[in-house]
């Protein structure tokens, strides 16, 4: 991160440039941290500098400990954003507003689940898995936001 005294300190294992407005930010993946340091020295010489000891070679135990703390903080921030972020996807529908069974099955398989689900097999409705008629039985609909067909949604609207 950029320090107050104008130093940009790449952490051990870092391979992307974090300098603000860098044309290589998150586009160019450097092979290793040393290549990133060379990039900072050449491309950002007017804005940032590396500490004198920032040369090549193996990191010290203290540097490795600092980097573990840094990456744990990054992961915690990432997990917090995920909880606040996007939830389950909407159930794919056709133009007429009915559930698109083939799109539902495709999504379910992409997520690593098998079709038909166990609940449909137990209810002897294996052929109807992921169909709108099986909405109350099929386990796969839990992967999506709750479904409201258009007529139901219109009757629930408040004027």
* Number of neighbouring beta carbons within 10 Å of residue 38: 13
Chain segment 46-103, per-residue pLDDT in tens: 776 666 566 667 778 888 898 889 888 888 887 655 555 567 788 888 888 888 888 9
Residue 41 binned pLDDT confidence (cut-offs 50, 70, 90) = confident
Is residue 108 within 8 Å of residue 101, measured between CB atoms?
A: no
Mean local confidence (pLDDT), 22-34: 80
pTM for this model (two decimals) = 0.42
Burial 94-115, CB ≥16 within 10 A → b, else e: eeeeebbbeebbebbeeeeeeb
Average model confidence (pLDDT) across the chain: 77
Q: Which of 51, 46, 64 is nearest to 1 (CA)?
A: 51
Two tokens at 11?
A: 């952490």
């Amino acid at each position: 991160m950029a320090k107050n005294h104008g130093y940009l300190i790449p952490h051990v294992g870092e391979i992307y440039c974090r300098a603000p407005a860098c044309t290589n930010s998150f586009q160019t993946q450097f092979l290793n941290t040393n290549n990133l340091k060379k990039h900072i020295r050449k491309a950002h010489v007017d804005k940032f500098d590396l500490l004198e000891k920032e040369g090549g070679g193996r990191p010290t135990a203290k540097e490795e400990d600092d980097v573990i703390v840094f990456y744990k903080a990054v992961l915690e921030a990432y997990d917090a954003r995920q909880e606040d972020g996007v939830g389950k996807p909407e159930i794919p529908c056709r133009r007429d507003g009915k559930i698109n069974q083939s799109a539902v099955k495709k999504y379910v398989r992409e997520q690593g689940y098998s079709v038909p689900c166990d609940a449909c097999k137990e209810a002897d409705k294996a052929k109807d898995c992921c169909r709108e008629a099986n909405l109350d039985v099929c386990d796969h609909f839990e992967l999506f936001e709750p479904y409201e067909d258009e007529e139901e949604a219109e009757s629930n609207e408040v004027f």
